[in-house]
């Protein structure tokens, strides 16, 4: 059935909502706590970041959809429970319902004692992938929001530099705006390969995008 619309914009809005509904339905069907799982899935499948045997750190993990996705990737048969080939350490300011095989820490990543708990949970193992869906509470004031976003990303990069394997990867959430260019520059200074990524599961009207850095530059350690 053909639907005539006066404007392509109306049609696009309808399609966009329909697609997003699809992700919500899919998440419910596949047992994910949020549609965000499909953002990480798309990034991972495009760049082949997460593999069985990996140690993965999930920053800003609540409600847990990214940890759920990682957990399935590290399972020998892609299961949501049972055997796990690898390790997942998750952290968030908010509480998170337990996920089998995921070591969860509740606390503020900006605080030194919380960072120390995270480092303790990693147990000195080289980390293969750090994923960060952290986002500050936005005030609507451009300069303030940019500074808050930059701080979280700088902390994630600092953690990655200290804990990632030389060929490891960091994925962070970013927003188009004042923080975007400085953070791309920071990634280019730190990683050999830098890729901006806007997954299909991100809403079109959202300014969120993701930055992926792969392989630490030797200078990053210094």
- Return left, alpha or beta for 166; rule: phi > 0 is left, psi -120 to 50 is alpha, else beta: alpha
Give the phi and the psi of residue 87 in degrees, each rounded to 5: -145, 145
Q: Which residues contact 127 (CB under 8 A, 6 or more apart)?
A: 55, 56, 57, 160, 163, 164, 165, 168
Catalytic site residues?
173
Residues 6, 195: Cα–Cα separation, whole Å: 37
Kindly state the tokens that stand for 195.
């890729």
SS3 call for 164: strand
């Amino acid at each position: 059935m053909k639907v005539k619309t006066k404007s392509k914009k109306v049609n696009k809005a309808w399609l966009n909502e329909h697609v997003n509904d699809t992700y919500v339905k899919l998440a419910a069907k596949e047992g994910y706590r949020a549609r965000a799982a499909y953002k990480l899935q798309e990034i991972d499948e495009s760049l082949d970041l997460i593999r069985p045997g990996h140690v993965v750190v999930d920053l800003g993990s609540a409600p847990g959809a990214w940890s759920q996705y990682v957990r399935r990737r590290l399972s020998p048969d892609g299961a949501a429970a049972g055997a796990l080939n690898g390790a997942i350490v998750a952290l968030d300011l908010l509480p998170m319902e337990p996920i089998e095989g995921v070591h969860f820490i509740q606390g503020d990543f900006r605080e030194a004692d919380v960072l120390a708990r995270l480092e303790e949970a990693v147990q000195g193992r080289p980390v293969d992938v750090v994923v960060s869906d952290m986002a500050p509470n936005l005030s609507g004031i451009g300069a303030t929001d940019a500074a808050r976003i930059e701080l979280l990303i700088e902390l994630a990069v600092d953690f990655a530099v200290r804990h990632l394997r030389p060929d490891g990867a960091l994925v962070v959430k970013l927003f188009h705006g004042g923080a975007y260019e400085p953070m791309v520059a920071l990634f280019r200074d730190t990683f050999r390969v830098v890729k901006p990524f806007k997954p299909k599961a991100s809403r079109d009207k959202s300014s969120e995008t993701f930055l992926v850095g792969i392989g630490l530059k030797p200078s990053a350690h210094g």
